Amino acid sequence: MGLLQKAVQTYDAYSRMKDVELPPLYHSVKNADIIITIDKNGSILDARDDKTEIIFPTTQKSQTRTSTSNYPHPLCDQIKYLANYGRNSEYYNKYIKQLTEWSDSVYTHPKLNAILLYIKSGTILHDLQYRGLIELDNNGTPLRKKNNNGKYEETESKKFIAWIIAGLGEDIEECWKDRLLFESYIKYYDNIISPSNNAGYDVDMISGDITEIAELHPKCIVNHYSNAKIISSNDDVNFTYRGRFVNSRQALTIGYESSQKAHILLSWLSSNQSVATCYNGGRTYICWNPNGIQIPKTNFSFWEEAEDPKPTNYKEQLRKLLLNYKYKIPINEDVVIVSFDATIKTSGRLSVTYYNTLKASDFLDRIEKWDLSSCWIHENGKVNSPSMPDIVKYAFGKEDSKKKIIIDDKVFDTHIQRLISCKVDQAVMPMDIMEALFRKSCNPFELTEDHKNNVFNRSNLLFIACAVVKKYRYDHFKEEWQMALEPDKHDISYQYGRLLAVFEKIERIDINKKRDDREPNAIRMWSAYCRRPDYIASLLKKKIIIYQRRLTPGSRYYYDNLIGEIYEKISTFSDNEIKKPLKETYLIGYYLQKNNLNNNNNKDIQDTDSSNTRIDQ
């Protein structure tokens, strides 16, 4: 079933739920700028600035109007439609005509007449100016203001007005909350407007019924792309049809009611933080269940709910959380995932960059599989997976002057979607993402590590790189890399990574004693070490001799033995392998050995030091 069909199915299901308030058919949602209160006789009582989100009736043309069109909404609208001045008289006359026809019909509502009386009185501009809500020029028309480019913009005349009608004896005075007013307009549209439309009737390709066809489809599906539309066919003079069709109906026909349901539902979901995730103000991902059951979002991780996960119990914790979710969500329920994007400069088209439907049980299993295969251990001993935004930022971003990781939005959006596919579709971890992290990790000076100012970019990179390497090796080679140090691991890059961590640790002991802020030779020669590990290791071994002499006898004995043990492992490989550049697995060996050495409870060193009473000179 396609996206629009799922959206219509969801709208029908949600509309039957008492705890879900969807906008009704033929209505839209928008933030008001000004709320005007009038009485039943059309006299103003109050007006105020208010950014309240309102529901208001629309038409096919008003939902899709542009800056060059003048199709009014039937009730709430911009000031330029409500005030009769100068060149705006055409806007005003169309609004009055449309509202009058609704008010005079058998589907009228008492609020309509009050609004008509007030608008026809012609005092709206003066009333709003008197209350300091708008500015007028010397001619008494809404002031036009210059923008940054020096051009005049109609900011005042575009302020959106909503209504409160007092004195009618009704419980609900706000027009955007009055369900009877909504029902009045729906009946008016179905019985008066719809039969008079020129669109005609055809097969609705969503429902399969013969019904009124939508010639125009709503915009404002995603808030930050307010003018972008999913369905559009207004460019019939260039290359829209590519010689395949004579007109748009030969390509697609969608009923107006189906179009309304689908667009209202998608718009409502995109603004609902419990189901929608927006990355960097770019692509918006929506994840929902058509029957209204709460489903985790695409960026959900079981780690968010795990209690203090450790390498010894993290698998058990994740499985318990998975079973808890499966208990709450029936296994046969569907999960719908869709991603929207649009070009910021030309936001006329909203593209669906990703769409998938799968069973809830499969969706949860895949989240668990992602969390298990991409998790890694922190320096504090806790386990979790790096977030997808962090993976992309550290792989392809760079540091700015404030030591924050920044990245181009297009690059970010593209790679986030690839990781979503890894998580939801079980695609393998892309090689280029792993290699980007691997290359960055080979140059530690590319990112800052400043503990005094709480900047941990280098440590974050190392954690993320190890997690991605672990997942990459699992996806491509079915290798399971442990989060505990494996001294006997038969991988030369892993062993060289361990050796680098030991060289760094020995020198850092001396640096910390002197409270110096310089970097150890192991860090400064890291990049060369990755290219020529055998040669640079021999240089580092010579450089740390002076620091080894300053260790306590027990520590010196321990580190000498550890270096000898690692060299013994390396010697089991051929000369050709020993001289090769390091593979990405060196990161895991380095990280785990460093964690092991930084553990204050390192029993080997403590026991050796305590058994030796000689003072090192």
Label residue 615 by pLDDT band (50, 70, 90): very low
| C-alpha distances out from residue 291 to 17, 21, 334, Å | 9, 14, 8
DSSP letter, residue 136: B
* Mean pLDDT, rounded, of the chain: 89
Work out the average pLDDT over 265-283: 81
pLDDT over 80 (residue 238):
no
Contact (CB, 8 A) for 74 and 185: yes
Position 63 confidence tier, pLDDT thresholds 50, 70, 90: confident
CB 68 within 8 A of CB 151: no
Q: Are 589 and 493 in contact (CB under 8 A)?
A: yes
pLDDT band at residue 236, thresholds of 50, 70 and 90?
A: low
The pLDDT score that the predictor gives to residue 224 is: 63
Q: How many CA atoms lie within 13 A of 530 on its CB side?
A: 18
Structure tokens at 11: 């709208």
Q: Quick check: helix, strand or coil at residue 135?
A: coil
Calculate mean pLDDT across residues 505-519: 89
Q: Per-residue pLDDT for 281 more than 80? A: no
What would you report as the CA-atom Rg of the chain, rounded to the nearest whole angstrom?
33
What integer pLDDT is reported at residue 202 of this predicted model? 87
Written in H, E and C, the secondary structure of 144-155 is CEECCCCCEECC
Per-residue pLDDT at 188: 95
Residues 6 or more apart whose CB falls under 8 angstroms from that of 435 comprise 584
Residue 180 burial by CB count (10 A; 0-12/13-18/19+): exposed, middle or buried? exposed
pLDDT class for 611, splitting at 50, 70, 90? very low
Contacts of 266-273 with CB under 8 Å at 24 or more apart are: 266/7, 266/221, 266/230, 266/338, 267/23, 267/29, 267/218, 267/220, 267/221, 267/222, 268/22, 268/23, 268/29, 270/221, 270/222, 270/223, 270/340, 271/29, 271/223
pLDDT tens digits, residue range 311-360?
A: 888 999 999 999 999 988 998 899 999 998 876 655 667 889 999 999 99
Q: Smallest Cα–Cα separation from 373: which of 414, 286, 434, 307?
A: 434
- Taking 50 as the threshold, does the pLDDT of residue 265 lie above it? yes
The structure's pTM equals: 0.86
| Statement: residue 617 has pLDDT above 90 | no
User: Can you tell me whether residue 593 is helix, strand or coil?
Assistant: helix
Indicate left, alpha or beta for 543 from its phi (over 0: left) and psi (-120 to 50: alpha). alpha
pLDDT (0 to 100) of residue 614 = 33
